[in-house]
Each structure stands twice: as C-alpha cells, then as structure tokens.
C-alpha cells in the first residue's frame, strides 16, 4: 500500500481567491525544471495544479465550494530524490522563484498554499523507508512517507512503533509532521514529533544539502534539528527524517471519569502529570464537548485515559491517575467510552458537512501553563462568542506536560445563507483575531501543533516579541532571496503582499 494525499472537499474550478502578487516563470526556466523531474503547469493542467496548491485550511473549504483556491502554483515539480530537490532549489534560488513544499497537504493553516505562485514541490513521491536500526530503535524515512505506510512496515516487520498518531494519520507525511512540529494523540507517553526526531537531511534554499543531529543526545553547540523542526518549509526542505521508535506492546489500560466541574478536572489532570503518571492518552472534554460526543449530561466534564506499554508501567500509571482523580471528586465511568473515542477519533465528516451548511468553523490549539488553564478557557470562549455570527466555542485538553497542557478549541460561526465569500473571510478573521489574541493575552502561546502557516502569520511578531528578529535573522541567512514558502510564519516577504 502507498498512501497518497486526500483532498479536503470537492473542488470544481481553479479560480484564484487571494489577490497577492504572483511570480512568472520564464519558458527557459521551465524547461530547465522539466529536465530535472516531471512537472505540471498551471497553463496546461490548471485543475491538477489547483489540487496541488491547496490544503485542509477550513476557511479554504468555503473557497473550494465556489471553485476557488487561494492561489495557483505556476509549476508543480514532482521530485523523486534529494538530488532532484537540490537541483530545483538551486535553479529557483538563482532566478528568485518562490518554492512551496507540499507533503500530504493536510495542514490546517494554509501553509502549503503557494501565495506567490512559483513552484510547488510535491514531495509525495519521495516515499521510501531507507533504513531501520532495530537495535537502537531508529528508522530513517524519506519525507513523503505517510503515517499508515510507516507504521505498517515498522509494526509488521520490526515489532516497533514511532507512536505518532495525529488525527490526520492517514492524511499527512513524515516531512509534514516534522515541518509543522506536530503532536499525535498518544503524545503524553511518546512525546511530540520534536521529541522523536534524531536527525534530518535538509536541502537549503541554494540547493546545498546538510545533515543535522544523528545521535541520541549531544553537546555540539545548539541542536540544529530544532532550526528546521517547525520551520514549515520557510528555511529548507526536509528530505529525510530519522525517528526514535518504541517496542510495540499489546498491553493496554483504559479508564473513563466524570467530574462535577471543569476546573476540578483540570486540577486532576495536573496532579496526575505532576505525579509522573503519563498515560499515552489523557483527554479532558469540557461540558459542551462531553455532551456532544462522549455521553455527558451537559454539566459534567469527561476525561478519557488510555495507556500502553509494559504491563507494570501501565498498571502503575492507571492506578496513579485513579488516585489523583478520586482526590479531585471524580466518578469512574464505563471504560467503553474510550473504545467509542477510538472508533470515531479520526472522523472528519462533520467538518465538510458543516462547511456545506454555511458554518465558518475552525480549531485553535494553544499551549497553556497549568496555572492559567481556567483563565485561557474563559477568555477565549468569551472573546470568540462576542464576534459576528458566533454560535459555539468549546474545548478539550488533548496533550499534557509537566508544566502545562494543550487546550484545543473548536469555534463556529454561522453567517446567513449565501453570504459572499469576502464576508465569510471577514467572519473567519474576526473569530480568529478575537480568539487568538484572547489566548495570548491570558497566557497561552500561539500554537501547540497545527503551526502558523498563512492563517497565523499575522500574530507571529506579537507572539514572539523581541525574539522574532532573531528568527528573521536566521531566515535571512539561510534564504537570502526569501524564496522558501514566502508569506508564511510572519517573515518579511520579498515578493510583496500574500493577499491574506
């Protein structure tokens, strides 16, 4: 089986929605690119190029329903090797042509939209697992390997797992996981992707190829892996990834609890984690989401727990959780709620269905210190519900750390039927401005795992403060012509306005 990208919603048309500046590609440059690898052009096959120029950004689903994408690549290049990526970048660097990487195109922030046209690099053909060191437990995979293909190979032939299971497991590539600094649903046991990366192969803007990391630990200056983890295609193309793995275990523990109040449940999760109980899955649903999806009565907060691994560790973890939860007023509930979650956890049909009904919906995930969870929850709900046409704001806690947790908000507005796209855009923008700024103001960060892309680009400077200029300096040094995914991550854009 080889997985390929999954379109987010049907698209009939290829009009451009964003009014950003576009970069033309000369016939001679096009023929040089075509000598390197297969290419598809917007002038000969705009529909295919339109598919390859979009991702799962929920706002753009409204555009797709009207036959529009954000913008079209002038050329999609389909490289098969690091060498081909390197040659393409050298050409684009020389000619100052924007290059936007596309993996599974499951990003939800518009990160792989080529806002200035130019070249989209379709990395999905670079899909080989190139090495498995079973003794050290390290796998090396090309960037375009999808989750199901990676895990099938590792589990079936080597008895190991990376343990990275994002909701988009079927939709995303290894390179995209790393480029977006993603998190899987089992992250409280296995960590985020940045905890799993051992080393990277990266092609820089000028076409040179570097290798970063490669060892279990080091004191060789700053860790260069982390320059590229989360860089979302703005600093280089990640062509190969070395990841840590764990032995597969078939032993699991599961539990489900109900709390009378949300803040009791927050406190219970904090206590469990602070007592070193790190079950793979620890998911807390506010009363709205508990009632909507987990059998809650409308006032209770439901928490689901699942762990896997060595039986003694799993049993001790579940027992520590039970003790901390009981001390905070929890009632144990039937464990089959976990099975229900497992069955439905990757279902995305509600997103498409609600979009077709005209809802403007999106999700906003942020990292919050334990001490500020209640404040951030209240501030985001209040701010987002005060925006035009807002109808719902709910949250769950999806990933936990010693010092904080991820709050994952689901936000919805319902403008009147047949609202023009420009007003859909402004409804979405108002919702995000209110929610994101309320989160930042109450003590959260900008993003936990979806990344920044185009949607959150406008908040980067305020989120990073004076540190932003250091990031911009790194960008300028690695990509002096600014060709790597321009318009994203808040960087100075040498090609003008992105149109968003």
Ligand X SMILES: Cc1cc2nc3c(=O)[nH]c(=O)nc-3n(C[C@H](O)[C@H](O)[C@H](O)COP(=O)(O)OP(=O)(O)OC[C@H]3O[C@@H](n4cnc5c(N)ncnc54)[C@H](O)[C@@H]3O)c2cc1C
Site residues for ligand X per CB under 6 A: 55-56, 100-108, 111-112, 123, 143, 166-168, 171-173, 175-177, 179-180, 182-183, 232-233, 237-238, 348, 449-451, 453, 485
Question: In 10 A of CB 437, how many CB atoms?
Answer: 16
Supply the minimum distance, in Å, between the C-beta of residue 102 and ligand X: 5
Supply the minimum distance, in Å, between the C-beta of residue 332 and ligand X: 27
Which of residues 143 and 324 has its CB atom nearest to ligand X in the complex? 143
Which of residues 106 and 245 has its CB atom nearest to ligand X in the complex? 106
Which of residues 267 and 493 has its CB atom nearest to ligand X in the complex? 493
Supply the minimum distance, in Å, between the C-beta of residue 387 and ligand X: 23
Supply the minimum distance, in Å, between the C-beta of residue 432 and ligand X: 16
Which residue number is nearest to ligand X in terms of Cβ? 176
Supply the minimum distance, in Å, between the C-beta of residue 386 and ligand X: 27
Q: Which of 437, 425, 452 is nearest to 383 (CA)?
A: 437
Supply the minimum distance, in Å, between the C-beta of residue 287 and ligand X: 23
Supply the minimum distance, in Å, between the C-beta of residue 145 and ligand X: 10
Which of residues 123 and 255 has its CB atom nearest to ligand X in the complex? 123
Which of residues 259 and 495 has its CB atom nearest to ligand X in the complex? 495
Which of residues 228 and 370 has its CB atom nearest to ligand X in the complex? 228
Which of residues 383 and 460 has its CB atom nearest to ligand X in the complex? 460
Supply the minimum distance, in Å, between the C-beta of residue 491 and ligand X: 12
Supply the minimum distance, in Å, between the C-beta of residue 69 and ligand X: 14
Which of residues 42 and 179 has its CB atom nearest to ligand X in the complex? 179
Which of residues 183 and 383 has its CB atom nearest to ligand X in the complex? 183
């Amino acid at each position: 089986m080889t997985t390929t990208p999954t379109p987010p919603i049907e698209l009939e048309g290829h009009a451009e929605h964003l009014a950003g500046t576009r970069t033309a590609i000369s016939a001679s440059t096009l023929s040089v690119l075509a000598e390197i690898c297969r290419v598809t052009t917007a002038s000969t096959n705009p529909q295919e190029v339109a598919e390859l120029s979009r991702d799962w950004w929920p706002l753009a689903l409204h555009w797709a329903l009207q036959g529009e994408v954000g913008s079209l690549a002038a050329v999609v290049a389909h490289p098969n090797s690091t060498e081909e990526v390197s040659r393409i970048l050298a050409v684009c660097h020389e000619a100052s042509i924007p290059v936007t990487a596309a993996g599974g195109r499951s990003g939800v922030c518009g990160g792989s939209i080529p806002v200035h046209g130019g070249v989209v690099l379709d990395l999905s053909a670079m899909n080989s697992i190139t090495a498995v060191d079973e003794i050290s437990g390290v796998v090396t995979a090309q960037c375009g390997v999808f989750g199901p293909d990676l895990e099938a190979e590792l589990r079936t032939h080597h008895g190991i797992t990376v343990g990275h299971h994002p909701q988009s497991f079927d939709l995303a590539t290894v390179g995209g996981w790393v480029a977006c600094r993603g998190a899987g649903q089992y992250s409280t046991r296995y960590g985020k992707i940045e905890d799993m990366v051992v080393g990277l192969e990266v092609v820089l803007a000028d076409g040179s190829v570097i290798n970063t990391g490669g060892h279990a630990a080091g004191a060789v200056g700053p860790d260069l892996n982390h320059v590229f983890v989360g860089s979302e295609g703005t600093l280089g193309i990640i062509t190969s990834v070395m990841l840590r793995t764990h032995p597969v275990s078939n032993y699991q523990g599961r539990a489900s609890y109900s709390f009378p109040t949300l803040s009791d449940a927050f406190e219970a999760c904090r206590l469990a984690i602070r007592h070193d109980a790190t079950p793979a899955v620890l998911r807390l649903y506010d009363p709205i989401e508990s009632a909507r999806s987990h059998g809650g009565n409308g006032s209770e907060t439901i928490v689901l727990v699942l762990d896997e691994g060595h039986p003694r560790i799993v049993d001790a973890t579940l027992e520590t959780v039970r003790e901390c939860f009981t001390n905070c007023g929890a009632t144990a509930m039937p464990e089959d709620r976990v099975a229900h979650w497992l069955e439905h956890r990757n279902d995305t049909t509600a997103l498409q269905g609600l979009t077709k009904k005209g809802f403007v919906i999106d999700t906003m995930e942020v990292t919050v210190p334990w001490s500020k969870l209640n404040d951030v929850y209240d501030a985001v709900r209040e701010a987002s519900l005060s925006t035009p046409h807002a109808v719902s704001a709910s949250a769950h806690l999806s990933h936990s750390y010693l010092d904080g947790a991820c709050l994952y908000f689901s936000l919805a507005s319902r403008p009147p039927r047949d609202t023009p796209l420009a007003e859909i855009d402004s409804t979405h923008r108002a919702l995000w401005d209110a929610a994101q700024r309320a989160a930042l103001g109450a003590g959260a960060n900008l993003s936990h795992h979806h990344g920044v892309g185009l949607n959150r680009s406008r908040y980067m400077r305020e989120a990073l403060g004076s540190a932003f200029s250091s990031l911009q300096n790194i960008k300028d040094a690695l990509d002096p012509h600014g060709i790597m995914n321009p318009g994203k991550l808040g960087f100075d854009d040498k090609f003008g306005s992105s149109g968003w």
